[in-house]
Copies of this chain bind each other. A is one copy, B any other.
Amino acid sequence: MDIKELVVPERILMGPGPSNISYRVLKVMATPIIGHLDPAFLDIMDEICQMLRELFKTKNLITIPISGTGSAGMETSFVNFIEPGDKVIIGVCGLFGERMVDVAERLKANVVKVESNWGEIISPEKMIDALKRNLDAKILAIVHAETSTGVAQPLEEIGDFIKDRDTLFLVDTVTSLGGMEVKVDEWGIDICYSGTQKCLSVPPGLSPLTISSKAYDVLKKRKTKVNSWYLDLTMLTRYWGKERFYHHTAPISMLFALREGLRIIMDEGVENRYARHKKLGDLLKKEFLDLGFTLFSDPNHSLPMLNAFKFPLKIKEPEMRQRLLSEYDIEVGGGLGKTKGKIWRVGLMGESCRLKNILYLVEAIKEIIAN
């Protein structure tokens, strides 16, 4: 067996994630590890939770990173709260809404889908109407930033309606957290998960999650054990809480990385960071429209960090994307599911969200078109 030293191309990651990683995060990943019950590690855990609370804008005690990627966060968010037959309302206008349905149905939930076309939001009225017709729903779930379509879903009205009811408000912020406002407490969100590899610019492998005391009460009242041992919050909170009771071996190096990624965000300031994503997202859209692309997502509800475009005839797909990768080391994303081959998804997430990247990408496209 002859497997050589690791050598990888230096890519500019402008797809739907992962995004580029700061040298500061890469450096801490090379830190020799310590044990998951080492007193020095317990301090690190607390610091991570503290910064995650700041980022999620929440006082929730249970605010922890799950030891898996964003999809593990999604599964954690459903598996801990659903018992067979529970009613769950899910907004679906893209692949990640569809994934929520799949996850919930595997847990024998009674799923009520509220759908819109891909590229559109689901109007808050439509979600609220569904809840009014299903006031016994245990969970109402929706994706904040639909990575498959580039749409930013408004949440405040829905949250306001749910706040004083029994239903739990579950929100996917995998692509939004760290790149635009996420206000868990103010918006009345009860269960919220994200991923590290998008606007946090930390390698994939962890899923920050926060749950409200209202959600924790529901968890405590379960009649059956949580289906998943690995993702069981009743045990995970004993490790992340004061008790420090061993559950599974935490992914130490990834947590070092998350801590540094969060420190970078605190150094920049969350408001500055959101403004950077907004400004450069606007610029990217303008440049792409000038190139003949058209927005796939509703222009009034387009994400700054993930821009979905229909491409003009002069763009050959997937050949153009392949050339961007092989000749310019730029990764942009294609469509997923029903948009496969029909759209591009151009990311501006965290470290990847830089003026120089936009200029280089636009010039690269122009060069390829000219040749």
Contact = CB atoms under 8 A, between A and B. Distances in A.
Interface of A: 1, 3, 6, 8-11, 13, 15, 17-18, 20-21, 26-36, 38-41, 44, 47, 50-51, 54, 67-72, 74-75, 79, 99, 102-103, 105-107, 195, 197, 203-205, 225-230, 246-254, 256-257, 259-260, 262-263, 266, 325, 331, 336
B204 A36 contact: yes
B229 A1 contact: no
Contacts of A71: 229-230, 247-249
B249 A50 contact: no
A260 to B, nearest CB: 6
Given A205-B254, A230-B68, A9 B34 contact: yes
5 contacts: A6-B31, A6-B260, A67-B68, A72-B248, A99-B229
B38 A325 contact: yes
A368 to B, nearest CB: 18
B33 A13 contact: yes
Contacts of A226: 106
A332 to B, nearest CB: 10
A69 B203 contact: no
Nearest to A75: B230
Contacts of A256: 6, 8
B3 A47 contact: yes
A27 B30 CA distance: 6
Given A1-B266, A69-B248, A103 B229 contact: yes
Nearest to A226: B106
Contact of A26 (B32, B54, B67): B32
A39 B27 CA distance: 25
A38 B26 contact: no
Contact of A21 (B32, B36, B75, B227): B32
Given A107-B227, A248-B70, A249-B70, A18 B6 contact: no
B106 A229 contact: yes
